[in-house]
Chains A and B, each alone.
Chain A
Amino acid sequence: MHRRRFVIGTAALGLGLAQADLSFAQRLAGNISVQLEDARSLAGLSGNDLRLGLLRNLRLVAETRGMMPAQLYAMRVVQGRVADAFVSRRFDVVPGLAGLPGANHFPGEMGFPGEMGFPGEMGFPGEMGLPGSDPMALAQQMAVRTLAEARQEQGFFFVVFTPEPDVAGQGLGLGTRRV
């Protein structure tokens, strides 16, 4: 069985909807998703404990042709707005499953205020998007939409983009509660 992924290009939005045409959809060359390995183990954590727990439990699943440079975008969202935005230095991702490259590629303690606690069951896949010309802006939009769609007033959002224009990033949303 083969899987192929497509995204609808914005150029298609102005076209009529009646006729099927594969050119409406852009074939993806790859996809990197951020996943949470064991959400329950993070239940009740907040502040730096939550940060360390995420460092241990976040996983990158890369469906790419080979090794390529990438950057982690991390957002903290409060009441529908991005309160903190972080972008890591570049690191290499390889096809398959991998952990985060290290603490220096992850937001510091300041990004994890102590009053934001993780209930344990509020991890969910976020949107998938192509990086485009401004991946930071896109990551912020995805973060706000993902949390809003999940009806979370506050939380975190993580997504990894590569410089490759046809490699998509699928984010991870994390709802938090005030503790």
Chain B
Amino acid sequence: MRLCIAGAGPAGMLAALIGQAAGWRILWQGDGRDSPQAAHLHLVRDVIGPTLTSIDADLGARIAAATDPAHDWRDAGGKTGRAPRLTREGLTAALAAACAARGLAALTTPLPAPGDGAELWIDATGGARALARRFEAATLGSLTLDDIGTGRLWRSEQWHDRMPSAPYTQVVPGRAYLESGPDGTRRTGLDGATEALAGPDKTPVVVSRMVAPPVRLARWKGAAGAPALILFGDARLQTPPDMGFGLLAVAQQAVILHEALTSRSDPERPLAGWAETVWVNAGMQLAFAC
């Protein structure tokens, strides 16, 4: 049984780990570059580690090892504290190490053509939905994007200390830990309702603006006889960054995918049900926020 996966980010790596553990032969293509979403501020909720531990104890241990158990933070008002902190980079590195430990390496060649024998395909290319678009171009199905709301403005801030390229840290004490992409990237700040705190000796400076996506649910309808394609991660559901839900959403989808593949059942139905629920709830959240 061959499982073809496209996507270099956390969703792609998780899909590869889960598929391999379920006995699939993995063909995984990441182009070596993380998705544009990686350049946004990410909220790595503390429940992500336990969620992934429930499906992969080794991965959970790697995530725990990547977590700084006592990160010192200080807000612009001088308030200080200490809390565990897991960065997106730490999470990604833990996933990459788990993949490497199991011999999972991204292909250096393109994936086979759709219909070339693979039984299952997973699109984990984020908002690009590159695999779905490739399938669509080959008339193997159709993609529908259902949006609630529209792109909205979010504050973008960067915290500087003496060096303009200093790492950026934003912490919600005791609950969630936020981290940027690489230095110099555009970062999406959470709104004022979140108690956003800078790291030591850093001063918030508004540097840029960006438009967040609306709440977007992607539905894939395969043509008759077409190979099964599963949208996974942001490819299935996108929520505005201020909700801080993207990485947790990937972890929740991973649990569903794990249960389906290990029980030899179709993951589409439970993933679609999960996504519909989250989509409506996130839309409600937007409505309440207005």
Which residue numbers of A lie inside 8 Å of B, CB to CB? 1-8, 10, 12-13, 17-22, 24-25, 31, 33, 121, 124-128, 145-146, 149-151, 170, 173
Q: Indicate the member of A6, A18, A22, A145 with the most B CB atoms within 10 Å.
A: A6
Chain B hits for A124, CB < 8 A: 153, 209, 211
Q: Indicate the member of B149, B273, B280, B290 with the most A CB atoms within 10 Å.
A: B280
Stretch at the interface among B43-51, B107-115, B140-148, B245-253: B140-148
Contact with A along B243-275 (1 / 0, CB 8 A): 000000000000000000000000000000100
Shortest beta-carbon distance, A144 to chain B, in Å?
12
Given contacts A127-B290, A128-B150, contact A1 B284 (CB under 8 A): no
Interface positions of B from 119 to 149, Cβ below 8 Å from A: 133, 136, 142-149
Shortest beta-carbon distance, A176 to chain B, in Å?
15
Q: List the 3 closest A-B pairs by CB distance, nearest first.
A: A8-B287, A20-B276, A20-B277
Contact residues on B (Cβ < 8 Å of other chain), bracket? 20 to 34
Is the beta-carbon distance between A149 and B147 smaller than 8 angstroms?
no
Is the beta-carbon distance between B152 and A145 smaller than 8 angstroms?
no
Shortest beta-carbon distance, B220 to chain A, in Å?
10
Contact with B153, one of A5, A12, A121, A125 (Cβ below 8 angstroms): A125
In the complex, A173→B151 CA distance in Å?
A: 13
Shortest beta-carbon distance, B175 to chain A, in Å?
20
Is the beta-carbon distance between A1 and B136 smaller than 8 angstroms?
yes
Is the beta-carbon distance between A2 and B273 smaller than 8 angstroms?
no
Chain B hits for A5, CB < 8 A: 146-148, 150
Question: Given A20-B277, A125-B153, 8 other A-B contacts at CB below 8 A?
Answer: A4-B147, A20-B281, A24-B284, A31-B150, A121-B209, A126-B153, A145-B290, A150-B209
Chain B hits for A19, CB < 8 A: 277
Which residue numbers of B lie inside 8 Å of A, CB to CB? 133, 136, 142-153, 155, 206, 209, 211, 273, 276-277, 279-281, 283-284, 286-288, 290
Is the beta-carbon distance between A25 and B288 smaller than 8 angstroms?
no
Chain B hits for A170, CB < 8 A: 150
Contact with B143, one of A1, A126, A149, A173 (Cβ below 8 angstroms): A1
Is the beta-carbon distance between B286 and A1 smaller than 8 angstroms?
no
Is the beta-carbon distance between A125 and B146 smaller than 8 angstroms?
no
Q: Could you jot down 26 A-B contacts, CB within 8 Å? A: A1-B136, A1-B143, A1-B144, A2-B142, A2-B145, A3-B144, A3-B145, A5-B147, A5-B148, A6-B146, A6-B147, A8-B286, A12-B284, A13-B284, A17-B284, A24-B284, A25-B280, A124-B209, A125-B150, A125-B151, A125-B152, A127-B290, A128-B150, A149-B152, A151-B206, A170-B150
In the complex, A7→B290 CA distance in Å?
A: 12
Is the beta-carbon distance between A1 and B287 smaller than 8 angstroms?
no
Chain B hits for A25, CB < 8 A: 148, 280, 283
Chain A hits for B151, CB < 8 A: 125
In the complex, A17→B153 CA distance in Å?
A: 25
Shortest beta-carbon distance, A28 to chain B, in Å?
9
Given contacts A8-B287, A12-B287, contact A20 B273 (CB under 8 A): yes
Shortest beta-carbon distance, A4 to chain B, in Å?
5
Chain A hits for B290, CB < 8 A: 127, 145
Is the beta-carbon distance between A20 and B144 smaller than 8 angstroms?
no
Chain A hits for B146, CB < 8 A: 4-6
Chain A hits for B211, CB < 8 A: 124-125
Shortest beta-carbon distance, B290 to chain A, in Å?
7
Chain A hits for B142, CB < 8 A: 1-2
Select from chain B the residue with minimum beta-carbon distance to A26. B148
Select from chain B the residue with minimum beta-carbon distance to A27. B146
In the complex, A151→B150 CA distance in Å?
A: 19
Chain B hits for A18, CB < 8 A: 277
Select from chain A the residue with minimum beta-carbon distance to B210. A124
In the complex, A142→B231 CA distance in Å?
A: 35
Shortest beta-carbon distance, A79 to chain B, in Å?
18
Select from chain A the residue with minimum beta-carbon distance to B153. A124
Shortest beta-carbon distance, B154 to chain A, in Å?
8
Shortest beta-carbon distance, A168 to chain B, in Å?
8
In the complex, A25→B287 CA distance in Å?
A: 10
